Every structure is written in C-alpha cells, then in structure tokens.
A and B are shown apart, each in its own frame.
Chain A
Amino acid sequence: MACLHDHSCEDHDCSSNWSLYKHIDLPKVSALNEAVPGSAKSVFKPWEHRLNSSEEHLESNEGDPELLVYIPFTSDVKIKSIAIIGGTDGTSPSKMRAFINRDGIDFSDAQNMQAVQEWDLVENLNGLLEFQTRYAKFQSVASITLHFPDNFGGDTSQIHYIGFKGEATQLKRDVVATIVYELMPNPSDHKTKAESGGGFSQVE
C-alpha cells in the first residue's frame, strides 16, 4: 500500500500513525439521521481494515444526505489529519465541518454554529487522501463532532471509514463524566461476587 509521503512503507508501519483509533471511546459514539441505529460505530476500524466494506457502514435516511457523528475520546488527543472513505455513486459526502468538545449538538445547532474547521471533500474510495487540520486548534480534543451537510448527488450519504491521525496525551478533560447518584437504592446495581457466582461475598 502506497503512502502519500515519499518513502516506501517497509521502514515503518503506517498504521501506527493512525493509532488514534485506539483512543476512541466506541460505546459512546453516536450519530444523528442514521438509517440503522448504532451503525455509526462500524465506521471506526483499524487502518488495515479500512477497506473491508463487507460489514455495515453508516448510511443516512432516505432522501436526506445530512449526517452528524459525535466521537468522544478516552483521553485528550491532538489531531493532525482526518481520513474519510465514502460510498459509491455520489453517496460520498462533499463537505465536512468539525466542532470540538461540545456534546449534544443537533442539526439546527450544527447549521447555525461556526465550525472550528470546514473541508471540501473529494470522493475517496481507498482512504489514502487525508485532510489536514489546523493543528493549533486541535490541540486538546476530548470529543469531536463531524457534520456532513451534503453529498455528491446521491439519495443517501454513506460513510465506510473515519480515521484520525495524531498524538494522544494521557490527560483527560473531565474525570467525572456523568454522575448518576442513587435517589432510590436498586439492589441490582450492587451485585456482590456471591450473587454473580464465585468468590467470597463482598459488597463493593
């Protein structure tokens, strides 16, 4: 596989550059206007598998090409560039807008707010094209929201892969993400080892 930088790949492993995949908090990834709920998680895979189009991909609803993907990270990262693989037949997204460290954005917010950066995309079926970021603005990213307002004329928009290249710091933005405190005690939240089968009984 040929990298865009001018050396051959035998010297180092290109996939390590795309190591931000490991720092994505996959269970909390969500998307709006997806045809199949939960399909947003399927577009995040290791670099080597980016062309495995056999599995599911992210598709928007019929007749509506807009997509909004919310991606939280497990620690603060610095993002150097972003790679997107879209679908065929005009279903690739044509524009991308990014928002940093905001959660709960919906379409009306996304349309009204000023994005941190916007790109015009091209149809990119093998993922070799990467879109550089203004690195100074992407220095401590805890979550990124990508808004794809339009595509190349298809009925729906499809995304097969999203990859991030950069460095991960070990810092975390907020340690206490969500507090769920008990208003009413719920025994199922306090399973002891004895109940779940094994070991001495111990309430933790």
Chain B
Amino acid sequence: MVLEATMICIDNSEWMRNGDYSPSRFQAQADAVNLLCGAKTQSNPENTVGILTMAGKQVRVLTTPTSDLGKILSCMHGLEVGGEMNLSAGIQVAQLALKHRQNKNQKQRIIVFAGSPVQYDKTMLETIGKKLKKNNVSLDIVDFGEDEEGKLEKLDALFASVNSNESSHIIHIPPGGAAISTALMSTPVFTGDGEGGSGFAAAAAAGGGNFDFGVDPNLDPELALALRVSMEEERARQEAAAKRAADEAAREEKGEPSNSQDATMVGKAAEAINNASEPMDEVNALLQQAIALSMENSGSDPSVHDSEMAEATNEDQDLAMALQISIQEAAKDSSSQSDMSKVLEDPSFMPSVLASLPGVDLNDPSVKELLASLQGQSEQSKQKKEDNPPSDGK
C-alpha cells in the first residue's frame, strides 16, 4: 500500500496501428493502462494517477495526477494515433507533472509504454535516467511492439541508470501471446514491488492462473462445478469414442464379415453398453441394451448378431446379478414386513410391551379397551384370510 503519484506515458505514434497485438497495439495498450489505473487507485485510496501522450505535435498532458478513476478513463477516449514518439520529452514532462503534485508525501513513479523505435541515443537516455534517480523518481518501462535494432540496449541502459534499490522495473512483452494487460498483471508493475500485491491485481492474476477453469470456486461455485462436469463429460465421450475405434479394429481382426454400416451400429451399441457398465442407472442401461438389440435386428449378419449377444450378455451379467440381488432384497423386505405385522397381532406380545412402558397401567380401563380392540382386529383379519382361500377355491 505505497502512497504513490504515478504518471503514465502513452505511446500514440503511427507504429501503434499495427495488429500484432489484438485488436491493435494501441487498443491493447489502452486496456493495459485502464487496468493499471484501477490497480493503482485500489491499492491505496490516496494514490493519484496522471496520463500524458508522447507522440504527435507535442507531448500532451491529458490529466495531472488525480485519484478520480472516472476522469482518467474518460480521457482515454478519442485518442488519435499519429506522429512519432518523443521519449525524452515525455519523461521530462512527466517528471515536472510529478514535481507539482499536491501531496508531497507521495512517492513519484513514471510508467512508460515504449512501443515504437527510440530515436535518442544511449548517453542522452542515461543522463535522463540519472536525473530521475537523483530526484528519487522510480521508472517502469514496458517494452512492446516494434523491435528495432538497438532499442533493447537503449531501454536497458535507461533502466540501469534509473534503478536504485529495485524500485524500478523493465518489462518486455513479445507480440502474439498474451495480451499486454494479462502479461503485465503478474509483474511488479501491477503488484507493486512485491509487497504481496494489491487485492485487485492479485485476484485478477489468481483468477486467471491458479484455478482450472479461470473461475474461482469460492467466488462462483456453480459455474466452476458446471465447467468441471462438462469437462468430464467431454472426456468420457472422447474415451468412449476411442474405445469404439479400438473395438472396431478388434472386430476386424477377428475376421467377421460385416458391412461398415453394421459395424458402426454395433459399435454404437457397444459404446452404449460400455456407458452402461459405468455407474449409471439400471433403467438407463436396460434401455440402452434394448436399443442395441433392436438395432442389431436391422443388421443382416447372424454371426455378428450372435457375437454381439454374447458380448451383451457378458457385460449384462453384472447387471443381471445386480437385478437379482435387488429382487431378493425386496422379497426379504416384504417377508420381514409380514413378520412385523404378525408380531403386532400376537395377543400376548402387545400387553407385555405396553407393560414395559412407564406410566402405563395394565389395569387402566382405557388401556384394556385398546388391547381388546387390537386383538379383535387381528382376529378379524385372520377370519378374512380363512374366508378368502375357500372363496378362491370355489
């Protein structure tokens, strides 16, 4: 949370029309600047940011350092691209703007976006750098775009003469690859000298990088879950497709005469059954099996049919076993249920249970009535059972 006044020097020269950063160098730069302004103002509410453009007829200061993010973003509109970048004038004007900042407690920082060739020579850049260092101004250089002979050396020399105590940085962003803003997010330009980062930059970087789908499960669990499920389904589908291809190859090795259409249909059936063998509903599996069998009927080759049936039964055996077990369990349940009713009907059982309950006195007339009614019911049901078989027998 360093208290800082920042001046951002934008390159709006002719070289910014190029499209090697999408959609154009200038747009990519503008996005990066917007993000950077947001990050700076968020990291400390008293931070101020100002913008100036370096190319064109003269260096133009669009806003002096201000903490009003709306003002900064609005002045990024309607910027025109043209002319040549004047690096030394841009830096000097930035230094002057910072010198007249309102809050003298803020540290001074200049961020330069150098996208076009640098026409000044190394010694001049070094003197500029030394002057910045002498006045305790930090400089961040973002080197992107045009890759002219010697540009890298000059910028490195400038950086070396400014850098005191690791407060300045130089970043190189090659074309085609991440956008300028994403590339910058992980650098100290955003995170502020490795203090642990402003929450903005850290969250943005982490959101893109650390989580599988670019979505933080804490922030949006449903979205993360949906993404994960669809990813797994896709993977399963691809595995099944691979398996199907393998099955086809295996079948052809067996030498079975089957026309290609049949093979694909059978293949589909096999895939369906493969899916069934994975943990899914039994109903689903039976349905798919039925579909497979019906499709086989349209096929003309009986041997394929047989082998298919064999395969089906093989895989089906697990299913069949599962079905049988569940039926048995159901039978057990019903038998146990009838046991329960029998117990309830037993006349001696109920009184003993009731007697064990506290507060219930067997001699209480209401309790006696209850018991009597229970026994009456059981007798009635027994009589009904006896009546029915004879009636059926008729």
B134 A33 Cβ-Cβ under 8 A: yes
Separation of A97 and B265 alpha carbons in the complex (Å) = 97
> Inside 8 A of B172's CB, which chain A residues have their CB?
none
Separation of A61 and B133 alpha carbons in the complex (Å) = 10
> Inside 8 A of A37's CB, which chain B residues have their CB?
164-165
A79-120 at interface with B (beta carbon < 8 Å): 103-104, 106-108
| A54 on the B face (CB < 8 A) | no
Separation of A37 and B165 alpha carbons in the complex (Å) = 8
B134 A183 Cβ-Cβ under 8 A: no
B135 A107 Cβ-Cβ under 8 A: yes
B45 A64 Cβ-Cβ under 8 A: no
Write the chain B residue with the least CB distance to A180.
B46
> Inside 8 A of A103's CB, which chain B residues have their CB?
104
Query: Smallest CB–CB gap between B216 and chain A, Å?
Result: 22
Query: Smallest CB–CB gap between A29 and chain B, Å?
Result: 14
| B151 on the A face (CB < 8 A) | no
Separation of A106 and B135 alpha carbons in the complex (Å) = 6
Separation of A104 and B133 alpha carbons in the complex (Å) = 16
Contact flags B126-137 to A (C-beta < 8 A → 1, else 0): 000010011110
Query: Smallest CB–CB gap between A142 and chain B, Å?
Result: 15
> Inside 8 A of A104's CB, which chain B residues have their CB?
104
Separation of A61 and B162 alpha carbons in the complex (Å) = 12
| A66 on the B face (CB < 8 A) | yes
* Binding site secondary structure of chain A: loop
B129-150 at interface with A (beta carbon < 8 Å): 130, 133-136
The one of B99, B104, B130 that contacts A64, using a Cβ cutoff of 8 Å: B130
Binding site for B on A (CB under 8 A): 32-33, 37, 61, 64, 66, 103-104, 106-108, 178, 180, 182-184
> Inside 8 A of A33's CB, which chain B residues have their CB?
134
The one of A32, A64, A183 that contacts B46, using a Cβ cutoff of 8 Å: A183
Separation of A108 and B96 alpha carbons in the complex (Å) = 10
| B210 on the A face (CB < 8 A) | no
Query: Smallest CB–CB gap between B146 and chain A, Å?
Result: 32
The one of B45, B99, B130, B136 that contacts A183, using a Cβ cutoff of 8 Å: B45
Write the chain A residue with the least CB distance to B136.
A32
Given contacts A61-B133, A64-B130, A107-B135, 6 further A-B contacts (CB under 8 A): A32-B134, A32-B135, A37-B164, A64-B134, A107-B134, A184-B45
> Inside 8 A of B104's CB, which chain A residues have their CB?
103-104
| B105 on the A face (CB < 8 A) | yes
> Inside 8 A of A182's CB, which chain B residues have their CB?
45
Contact flags B150-172 to A (C-beta < 8 A → 1, else 0): 00000000000000110000000
Query: Smallest CB–CB gap between A40 and chain B, Å?
Result: 12
Separation of A203 and B333 alpha carbons in the complex (Å) = 65
> Inside 8 A of B99's CB, which chain A residues have their CB?
106, 108
Separation of A108 and B165 alpha carbons in the complex (Å) = 23
B134 A61 Cβ-Cβ under 8 A: yes
5 of the cross-chain contacts (CB-CB < 8 Å) are A37-B164, A64-B130, A178-B105, A180-B46, A183-B46
Separation of A64 and B129 alpha carbons in the complex (Å) = 13
Query: Smallest CB–CB gap between B225 and chain A, Å?
Result: 32
Query: Smallest CB–CB gap between A176 and chain B, Å?
Result: 13
> Inside 8 A of A184's CB, which chain B residues have their CB?
45
Query: Smallest CB–CB gap between A150 and chain B, Å?
Result: 15
